[in-house]
Amino acid sequence: PVHRQYQQWAHQRAGQQQQRLEIHQQEKRRPRRKRPDEIIVVPAPGVSYKDMYVKLRSSPRIADFQRQIGVGRRTPKDHLLLPLSRDVDSAALRDIIEEVIGDSGSVTVKTEMAEVVMTGIDNMIDEEAIKKALRTSLGKQSLVANVNLWERRDMTKRARVRLPRAEAELVKDRRLELGYTYCVVHEAPKVSGHLTRCFRCLERGHIAATCTGEDRSKRCLRCGDHTHKAS
């Protein structure tokens, strides 16, 4: 009886482990939900965040977007933060807000970013050519993208591009024509926090946006020389 009870317990435990494994695999396959964008309005000197909020909420130009704009909030820097719903075209709304406020302030979109990589790029390709290829692939006139491009020992180039997650998801696995090469866009591998490298000072543990160190972005990652970059 004891042996039979042990077999039943072992079988039950194996079933639970298999169930947990299946749930974990399903979660990995499930696409990650994009965080909603936010719009930051920086008032000009002499203009308050409250003035901006009242002006935007009462503008007929933004009437069609009002239901997609959440409750405005004041940031620690006295800027106006407007949370947006997931289905709003934040770039289009930003352009309209810029027209409404004019010289009374500046407008930026805060969006979730992601990174993609491309390898085997034609040596004659530069950062602007990569941005143009991405815009063409996405069918957009403008695109916010930060391109890190470096030459490898075999003379081909490798690029790591940081762009809004929505665009990164669309362009992932596509083939881009770059000069005399066709390069597949891959999602950049995830890096743990303590291994994250800052592309400004080249040290680990933080990113360029929070960097206070020396700017070494034009230097070789391996030897520190400014005449070339590591492959």
Question: What tens digit of pLDDT does each residue of 158-215 get?
Answer: 999 998 888 899 999 999 999 899 999 999 887 655 567 787 888 877 777 778 888 8
User: Could you give the C-alpha distances from 33 to 27, 30, 92, 166, in angstroms and in order?
Assistant: 12, 9, 21, 10
Burial of 137 (0-12, 13-18, 19+ CB in 10 A): middle
What confidence score (pLDDT) does residue 96 get?
Answer: 92
Are 168 and 226 part of one and the same domain? no
- At residue 14, does pLDDT exceed 90? no
What confidence score (pLDDT) does residue 7 get?
Answer: 62
What confidence score (pLDDT) does residue 217 get?
Answer: 83
In the predicted model, what is the mean pLDDT of residues 216-230?
77
Over its C-alpha atoms, the chain yields an Rg (Å, rounded) of 24
The overall pTM is greater than 0.85: no
Residue 199: which domain range? 192-231
Are 179 and 217 part of one and the same domain? no
Lowest mean pLDDT among 17-26, 72-81, 103-112, 176-185: 17-26
Name the helix (H) or strand (E) containing 26. helix 2-29
- Confidence bin at 56 (pLDDT 50/70/90): very high
**What percent of the chain lies above the pLDDT cut of 70?**
84
Residue 211 is part of a domain; what is its CATH number?
4.10.60.10
| Domain annotation covers residue 23 | no
Cα–Cα distance between 11 and 17 in angstroms, integer?
10
Q: Work out the angle at residue 39's Cα, subtended by the Cα atoms of residues 36 and 40, and round it to the nearest 5 degrees.
A: 135
Condensed to tens digits (0 to 9), the pLDDT of residues 132-167 reads 999 999 988 777 788 999 899 899 999 999 988 888
| Domain annotation covers residue 58 | yes
Residue 42 is part of a domain; what is its CATH number?
3.30.70
20-56 as b/e, with b when 16 or more CB fall inside 10 Å?
eeeeeeeeeeeeeeeebbbbbbbbeeebebebbbebb
What confidence score (pLDDT) does residue 91 get?
Answer: 81
215 close to 200: Cβ distance less than 8 angstroms: yes
The residue with tokens 């743990």 is: 192
What confidence score (pLDDT) does residue 57 get?
Answer: 94
- Confidence bin at 80 (pLDDT 50/70/90): very high
Are 67 and 106 part of one and the same domain? yes
Which SS3 state, helix, strand or coil, does residue 59 take? coil
| Domain annotation covers residue 85 | yes
What confidence score (pLDDT) does residue 196 get?
Answer: 72
Are 117 and 181 part of one and the same domain? yes
What confidence score (pLDDT) does residue 53 get?
Answer: 93
What confidence score (pLDDT) does residue 146 get?
Answer: 87
**What percent of the chain lies above the pLDDT cut of 90?**
45
Mean pLDDT of the chain: 84
In the predicted model, what is the mean pLDDT of residues 109-118?
89
| Domain annotation covers residue 180 | yes
- 113 vs 82, higher pLDDT: 82
| Domain annotation covers residue 142 | yes
What confidence score (pLDDT) does residue 5 get?
Answer: 59
